[in-house]
Chain A
Amino acid sequence: MTAIAAPVPSRLRLGPTAKVVAFTILALLAGVLIGPAGLSPRQVLLEIADHVPLISVDSGLSEREAAIVWQLRVPRVMLGALVGGVLAISGGAFQGVFRNPLADPYLLGVAAGAGLGATIVIAVGLGTSGLLLPAAAFLGAVVAVLVTYSVGGLGGRRNSATLILAGVAVASFFTAMQTFVQQRSADTVREVFSWILGRLSTVGWAEVRLLLPYAIFSSVVLLASRRLLDVLAVGEEEAETLGVRAARVRMLVVGAATLGTAAAVAVSGLIAFVGIIVPHGIRLLFGSSYRSVLPLSLIGGAGFLVLADLGARSILSPGELPIGVVTAFVGAPFFALILRRAVRGDV
């Protein structure tokens, strides 16, 4: 693993911000306008406008068609944006705080812990609907990271390397338990895999409401830490000499990113790759200063996941693909293209 080169601190610039915002707005619009029901885009826009305060228009949609827009598409797009934004900014923050390009928000065991919690709920027959599943996934994720922190800090020596190694051990252990539970409950294995591969297919406003406070808290803390991450990127000892308390910053950033990621995973399952592709894509396209990487990852991650979800529900329409398959299948070549251009010096 190669540490990320220290970024050249630079302010968030208008040009890149406008491009990323435009991309995400287009993705959000596409997400709301396109779907297997084949609704007229004009009527869909009117239906959304009708829900804006002080505006009253007749979209001409039937009650069921209106429900498709307002109770399925809009919350699904909003949740996709929230999950994508949180995973991307958390991934960028993890890469900064651990100075490791392969770091993603699942590094310290969040995915494995959430997977175990979700699998137990599904395997004992409590179903996949309702709030018990996200609650169990969230609890599993938080417990796994707490164990990682506890193991990684044994003997009072806690640094990036020991934390990462502890994360690997804890993730392996939780994954083993998850696999065991899953194997003992063969008739629910399809539901477990549906969750593990990520799903936005059955979400509604309840999931949006669940995730929103965590997403806001996590994003605000991480955005407020972006300058400290620029300082930390030159090295922990160097940062200390500049007055930055590296251990404290790391705990704050990891805590906020973990909380946001755990909440995102709890409502959407395990969506791979977003936390790596998006921040690296932003870094390669617009520079590596965390003052740009984190806010642009938040916005761009939202657009990326909404677009990936559009693919998930369009490729086999009217069927569904797991969104995690799309993020990896589409994201990996896209990322490779950016990487290739960067190596050539085109970006």
Chain B
Amino acid sequence: MALAIGLAACSEPTTAVAQPPAVSPTTAVPQRIVSLSATHTEILYAIGAEDQVIATDLTANYPPAAADTTKVDAFNFNIEEVVALDPDLVVLAFDFSGEVEALATAGINSLLLPPPVDLAGALEQIAELGAAVGRLDAALNLSGGLKQDIGNLISSAPVPDPPATFFHEIDATLFSANSATFLGNIFAQFGLINIADEVPDEFGSGFVQLSQEFILASDPDLIFLGDAAFGESADTIGMRPGWNSLSAVRLGNIFELDADISGRWGPRTLQLVTEIAAALDSSQ
């Protein structure tokens, strides 16, 4: 059960510990890459390595061409299925059930790039992945461009005084990401105060479940919905018991974020930052 709950968090960055890459030293540029991470699939395509990718995870839906590749279920990792694809590199974001060791035993190189905790970590991963697949220049171009564009967006965004508080809803059970996560760090760079930071996080997962009463008592200035794809909207939020007393609901400060984009740390982080900056621009 613990594994399943942990895997549930796969759509969001969770791991704070930077781990050394598990890739074995090799001089040859990999030509048969299996990407078990939707984030890194996006990066591989963005740096022009798409022709080297032979299979991607079931959740890899961007860019659209990635959906047409052979699919592997990272959630239910099957070493035989991966071996049968004869890859020369497997890229992973998680190592929940000993995937790295299983791949090493099978003689397959792997690169484990766990979720970073901030933008700098995400940009480092782009460079690391680029170096591993023989696309370092393109990767550095991508990460450099992202750093500049994201920095510009954040620095030109309005800064509420006093600082605005916010609640980011991952799902309707009121799970939220605190500032120790990649997503939380992005919000923090805008100077926003995350009400989820007040909730104890004993195991440091970065993900906590809030109570309705706490959210109402906190009265956040802004609400970001990461679960719009599951039917939640400003209307459904307003219909929840007591929520129409919230300032964010009354003023219409409820903003939908694309769950895929806000749950990954690839090139589309720029779009996430754009969405947050636009929300701040239009908030009351």
**Contacts from A to B (Cβ < 8 Å):** 35-38, 63-65, 67-68, 71-73, 75, 125-130, 182-183, 186-191, 193-195, 199, 201-202, 204-206, 313, 316-320
Contacts and interface: CB of A to CB of B under 8 A. Distances in A.
Interface in B1-58: 1, 4-5, 7-11, 58
Interface in B166-217: 170-175, 198-200, 202, 208-214, 216-217
B211 A68 contact: no
Contacts of A183: 75-76
7 contacts: A36-B211, A37-B216, A127-B227, A183-B76, A194-B173, A204-B240, A204-B241
Contact of A202 (B1, B4, B173, B219): B173
A316 B175 contact: no
Contacts of B230: 125-128, 188
Contacts of B217: 36-38, 64-65, 68, 318
A72 B242 contact: yes
Interface residues of B, number: 45
A326 to B, nearest CB: 14
A194 to B, nearest CB: 4
Q: Is the interface of A mostly helix, strand, loop or mixed?
A: helix
Contact of A72 (B210, B216, B246): B216
Contacts of B219: 64
A318 B210 contact: yes
A63 B8 contact: no
A71 B210 CA distance: 17
Contact of A190 (B175, B216, B232, B259): B175
B210 A320 contact: yes
Contact of B231 (A63, A127, A199): A127
B269 to A, nearest CB: 19
Contact of B245 (A64, A130, A186): A64
Nearest to B173: A194
B229 interface: yes
A68 B231 contact: no
A183 B217 CA distance: 36
Contacts of B240: 129, 202, 204
A186 B74 CA distance: 10
B171 A201 contact: no
Given A126-B231, A129-B236, A186 B7 contact: yes
B59 interface: yes
B219 to A, nearest CB: 6
B232 A187 contact: no
B199 A186 contact: no
Contacts of B8: 186-190, 193
A125 B231 contact: yes
Nearest to B4: A189
A23 to B, nearest CB: 24
Contact of B213 (A73, A182, A186): A73
B226 to A, nearest CB: 11
Nearest to B58: A186
Given A188-B171, A188-B230, A191-B171, 9 more contacts: A73-B213, A183-B76, A187-B10, A189-B7, A189-B8, A202-B173, A206-B241, A318-B213, A319-B211
Contacts of B174: 201-202, 320
Contacts of B173: 128, 190-191, 194-195, 199, 201-202
Contacts of A193: 1, 4-5, 8
Contact of B11 (A38, A182, A187, A316): A187
Nearest to B195: A318
A63 B199 contact: no
A67 B171 contact: no
Interface string B233-277: 000100011101110000000000001000000000000000000
> Which of B59, B173, B217, B227 lies at the interface centre, i.e. has the most chain A CB atoms within 10 A of its CB?
B173
Contacts of A186: 7-8, 10, 58-59, 75
Contacts of A72: 212-213, 216, 241-242
A171 B272 CA distance: 44
A329 to B, nearest CB: 15
B235 to A, nearest CB: 11
A68 B213 CA distance: 6
A313 B211 contact: yes
Contacts of A36: 211, 213-214, 217
Given A73-B213, A183-B76, A194-B173, A125 B229 contact: yes
A316 B213 contact: no
A67 B242 contact: yes
B74 to A, nearest CB: 8
Given A125-B229, A193-B1, A318-B198, A68 B216 contact: yes
B199 to A, nearest CB: 4
Contacts of B199: 316, 318-319
Contacts of A204: 240-242
A126 B1 CA distance: 23
Contacts of A317: 211, 214
